[in-house]
Amino acid sequence: MNYKIRILFLIILLSAIASSITLLSQETENAKVSFSLGKSYVQKSGKSSWEPLKPNDFLEEGDLISTGNGSRITVHYKGSEFKIQQNSKVKLSNLPEKSKRGVLEVNQGFAWFKIVNLKGKKFEVTTPNSTAGVRGTSFSAFYDPKTRESSFCTCEGKVSISDSTGKEILFQEKGEGTIVSSKDIEIKKFEYKGIIKKLNTLSGFEERLKKILF
């Protein structure tokens, strides 16, 4: 009887260990929702339906995140942080790994990124008309489908801005902002305070930049 109980105990213990290893692997390899306010949804790769997102949900490559009015969500991945603001759509195209670069798509709205632990790998944030390439920095990206303008602000580090063909058009440093227009292929460079005031995309964002509360 005692022998059977011991065997059963070992089976339960091994199952618990296997489950813990699986969860640890998910924590390490997958992106994870760390904060959510309001209503946010995810459209899984290859699917047409939308599922609600909540804290501690895991996200994978190809997932498209959508936030509602007055909503925002924070995603963590291997120390990096993606803050997606209201009325935005952001796709996790490629999560950075040892053998490949990271690529996120801002198809609509505003998102802020703090990128770390790239170990020499490139990380890019794309919009329909431009790309911001970084190697460890804090910056924001905004795209307005109505005006077809992309905007980038650099909080820390340096960012390379390229057009839709991949051609580098300027190099942006801390405190600088850029607006890329699709209508007249015009590049406008501003200080980040001016660009945020012009866009008026996020209430209180300028104050948060001053306090570095990200």
- pLDDT category of residue 101 using cuts at 50, 70 and 90: confident
In which element (H, E) is residue 112 found?
strand 102-114
**Does residue 131 form part of some domain?**
yes
Q: Which two tokens stand for residue 202?
A: 């996020």
Interval 81-91 mean pLDDT: 95
**Does residue 189 form part of some domain?**
yes
For residue 93, give the CATH number of its domain: 2.60.120.1440
pLDDT surpassing 70 at residue 196:
no
Interval 1-15 mean pLDDT: 49
What are the φ/ψ torsions at residue 211 (nearest 5 degrees)? Answer: -90, -10
Q: What gap in Å lies between CA 111 and CA 90, rounded to an integer?
A: 8
**Does residue 7 form part of some domain?**
no
- pLDDT category of residue 107 using cuts at 50, 70 and 90: very high
Q: What is the pLDDT of residue 116?
A: 82
User: Structural domain of residue 38, as residue ranges?
Assistant: 32-211
Supply angle C-alpha 126, 131, 133, rounded to 5.
105
Across the chain, mean pLDDT equals: 77
**Does residue 162 form part of some domain?**
yes
In tens, the pLDDT along 40-71 reads: 999 998 889 999 999 999 999 999 999 999 99
**Does residue 15 form part of some domain?**
no
In tens, the pLDDT along 113-138 reads: 998 876 767 889 999 999 998 866 88
Percent of the chain with pLDDT over 70: 69
**Does residue 11 form part of some domain?**
no
Q: What gap in Å lies between CA 73 and CA 83, rounded to an integer?
A: 6
**Does residue 160 form part of some domain?**
yes
